[in-house]
Amino acid sequence: MLPLFALFIAAFAFGTTEFVIAGVLPQVADGLGVSIPTSGYLVSGYACGIAIGGPLLTLATKSFSRKALLLGLSIAFTIGQAACALAPDFASMLLLRIAVAVAHGAYFGVAMVVAVGLVPEDKRGMAVAVILSGLTVSNVIGVPAGTAIGTLWGWRATFWVMCALGVVATLAMLALLPRTAGASNPQAGFAREVRVLARQQVWTSLILMLMLMIGQFTLFTYITPTLLEVTGLDKSLVPWVLLLNGVGATIGVFVGGKLSDWKLMPSLITLLCLQAVTLAVIYAVSPYPLPMIVAIVIWGGLNFSIGTPIQTRILAWTADASNLASSLIPSGFNVGIALAASLGAAMLNAGYGYRALPVVGAMAMLVAVVVALASYVWEGRSRATPPLPAAAE
């Protein structure tokens, strides 16, 4: 478990720097002299860096030692946080965030494959959950703490703390990750890596990721101004709401892992339906503080309970050629994040207001329900089974 813990710490660091921007978005916008909708492109730009740069870097470094690569990515993260803390204007901040995001995308692609290779086959879902829990715990601890630091001492202090966290993550992997980590993972040819993406279980799961992120980040990107302006919360309460959202997410990731090992697709379809209903409830109760807070917690739990079975499904159906597919897991998520943040900005610029954002999310979740049902029926009729790892064939 210690090697998985090292991977968890780095996942926590990357997750915190991705998500904390939502908590300090108004301060960043003010500090860099741009509007809040414009500053939202720091979210979509980061997501594009993960989605495009991550898979390319993963494939370009395919022959590298997995441990050395993971350490290099963690060092790049650390330097990037210091540079963001010193960014003089919006353009440089955006470029720096994109550069860090490329390292982020490659890290999760490699870490997922390494984590699965460190445990027995029947523990694969738990390994995925541990890496994902780095993201959820970043919501529980990292995002609220970073938001509070930004509120008290300014947003640049938040990035300096992220820099220190990067140092901790690097040292943890150096000390705890085996030198041979990932060495046993099969290195399939590029053509085979591409062919596995044609399996309907893979590409439909990527569509589900896209819809899930639209359901989450159309609202979450602008959660702070939504809570301040629509719900009417005091600014000091926002970090606590983000903390509760993260608690829900952490519970959700392990619930999703359990459901994945039980009945993956029926559970996934049910969760998608529940998320559509929850987003509709958020729209209805957003002017009322207590119901809104409760709905935000449930929404956070459902977001990550859905993410776990989606990722487990992709890893299961690409076990014979996992490098490209695993790098497309964070890519799929972040294409959705980029679209969601940009869609949210467009809606706000068009005058729809923060309250309208969860409506778009609810519509995306209904699309996901249809796709998941179709995929499940298709899979049942074909009677296909997940492939064995290449080394086992």
Higher pLDDT, 31 or 117: 31
Q: Tell me the mean pLDDT in the region 377-383.
A: 87
Which token pair is 185?
């993972």
pLDDT in tens, 257-298: 888 878 889 999 999 999 999 999 999 999 999 999 999 999
Give the percent of the chain with pLDDT over 90: 39
> Is 90 exceeded by the pLDDT of residue 10?
yes
Alpha helices (runs of H) in the chain, residue ranges in sequence order = 2-23, 25-32, 36-39, 41-48, 54-60, 66-85, 90-117, 124-137, 143-153, 155-176, 190-195, 200-220, 223-229, 238-285, 289-317, 322-349, 357-382
Confidence class for position 186, pLDDT limits 50, 70, 90: low
Q: Tell me the mean pLDDT in the region 371-377.
A: 94
- At residue 93, the pLDDT reads 94
Q: Measured at the alpha carbon of residue 7, what is the angle toward residues 150 and 86, in degrees to the nearest 5?
A: 30
Confidence class for position 392, pLDDT limits 50, 70, 90: very low
What's the burial of 342, exposed, middle or buried (CB within 10 Å: 0-12/13-18/19+)? buried
pLDDT in tens, 16-25: 998 888 888 8
- At residue 302, the pLDDT reads 93
Longest dimension (CA), the chain: 59
Higher pLDDT, 153 or 51: 153
Distance CA 364, CA 207 (A): 10
Q: Tell me the mean pLDDT in the region 114-130.
A: 77
pLDDT in tens, 192-221: 778 878 888 888 998 999 999 999 889 988
pLDDT in tens, 310-325: 888 887 888 776 677 7
Which token pair is 283?
């729209």
Give the percent of the chain with pLDDT over 70: 94
Distance CA 107, CA 195 (A): 23
